[in-house]
Structure 1
Amino acid sequence: MKDTHLIPLPNLCTHYQIEMSFFDGLSEYGLIEYISVEKTFCIHQDKIADVEKMIRLHKDLHLNFEGIDTVFNLLEKIDYLQSELNRTNNRLRRFEDD
């Protein structure tokens, strides 16, 4: 495997003690995308933090794929709203400084 930015899913299954079917389910719900490299499915290292969150949600809170999808959609909305709030605050500061 030449691309060092890709992590094989079998390694993640072993490391996190989770079945490959979990990743298949995440992929079916569009929560992750994996790439086939030399007949091995891999995920980009930038997505590992999200995968770890999904694994914790699944294991600790016993959420199914629908629940994980809902939580991630809500987190995405929260991030968007926080960035909107920051932009609005920055605009207000411009007027307050005058």
Structure 2
Amino acid sequence: MEQFNYIAVKDFCFSHGINTQFIIELYEFGLIEVITKENEEYILYEELPNVEKILRLHADLNINLEGIAVISELLDRIEFMHKENISLRNKLRFYE
């Protein structure tokens, strides 16, 4: 039996009460990955936290796609710098 690692866009949109066009716009804007299989679009499970974060930014704070793209890029940079900071601290402790 094949294990699915994705959810249908229409099912995700139905459960969150949004239009499927919004997910397609996120994909076209490059904010998320969407897989097309057998003429149906799917979102990978590992993308779900990112998609839900984007939905909250859009719905709760009324941020447009351009603003979401900027916020996502900045959050990615912060996460990278945080990991780099931890790595550098570990190296410093080694030499102390």
Q: Is TM more than 0.5 here?
A: yes
Counting aligned pairs with the same residue, the percent is 35
State the alpha-carbon separation in 1 of the partners of residues 91 and 34 from structure 2: 40
Unaligned runs of 5+ in 1: none
Residue aligning to 1:21: 21
The answer on 1:64 being equivalent to 2:64 is: yes
Matched residue type, 1:26? L
After TM superposition, the structure 1 = structure 2 runs for residues 5-44 of structure 1, keeping only pairs within 5 Å, are: 5-44=5-44
1:32-63 CA distance string (max 9 Å, x none):
12111222110111111100101101100101
User: RMSD between aligned alpha carbons?
Assistant: 1.1
State the alpha-carbon separation in 1 of the partners of residues 35 and 84 from structure 2: 33
> Is 2:33–2:47's contact at 8 Å kept on the other side of the alignment?
no
1:12 Cα deviation (Å)? Answer: 0.8
State the alpha-carbon separation in 2 of the partners of residues 41 and 54 from structure 1: 18
1:8-39 CA distance string (max 9 Å, x none):
00001101111111112111110112111222
TM-score under structure 1 normalisation? Answer: 0.91
> Is 2:34–2:43's contact at 8 Å kept on the other side of the alignment?
yes
Unaligned runs of 5+ in 2: none
Runs of 4+ with >2 A deviation: none
1:3 Cα deviation (Å)? Answer: 5.1
Q: Secondary structure at the match of 1:18?
A: coil
